[in-house]
Amino acid sequence: MKILSFVALTFVMSLALAAPSHPAGDPKPEMAGQNYAQGEEEARQGKWAEAAALFRKVIEEDDQHYKAFNMLGYSLRKMGKAKEAIAAYNKALSIKPDYAPALEYRGVAHVMAGNKAAALADMQKLKSLGSPLAEDLGKKIAAMPAN
């Protein structure tokens, strides 16, 4: 009986080891992490288009990666694409509504786009979260040219 149990256990273990660690067709989770880290490095070097491309890859692999949406928005904003950046920040915030960095960066993009009311709304949300980023955004809003 012990030999039969051992054979059965060995068979089950061999099936478990042979099975892929992720479902067929799903991206490997480590790829998203590698692309995100590389995207951050490209952003640190000011290579905004390269960074944006990497963050888009992360999003293709994981459409709930709010940090990748945030950094995509950041990269787009640095390329002067405020409208596209705001859309990326909106997606990040739809996943994690209290993510302070996305609120601040979206507020800055609103400043770039000349939408003071939207920037002020983001600053108020940051204040309600108790985030020190509200002060940073407030300085950018205060520096907006008067209409």
* Per-residue pLDDT tens digits for 60-92: 999 999 999 999 999 999 999 999 999 999 999
Cα–Cα distances in angstroms (integers) from residue 129 to residues 69, 99, 109, in the given order? 20, 9, 20
**pTM to 2 decimal places:** 0.78
Whether 34 maps to a domain, the answer reads no
pLDDT at res. 83: 97
pLDDT at res. 31: 72
The phi-psi region of residue 135 (left if phi > 0; otherwise alpha if psi is between -120 and 50; otherwise beta) is: alpha
pLDDT at res. 145: 86
Q: How many structural domains are present in the chain?
A: 1
* Residue type (1 letter), 141: I
Whether 105 maps to a domain, the answer reads yes
For residue 98, give the CATH number of its domain.
Answer: 1.25.40.10
pLDDT at res. 146: 80
Whether 117 maps to a domain, the answer reads yes
- Which residues in the chain land under pLDDT 50? 1, 3-28
From the list 57, 19, 20, 51, the residue with the least C-alpha distance to 38 is 51
Whether 118 maps to a domain, the answer reads yes
Q: What percent of the chain has pLDDT over 70?
A: 79
Domain of residue 96 covers 64-142
pLDDT at res. 87: 98
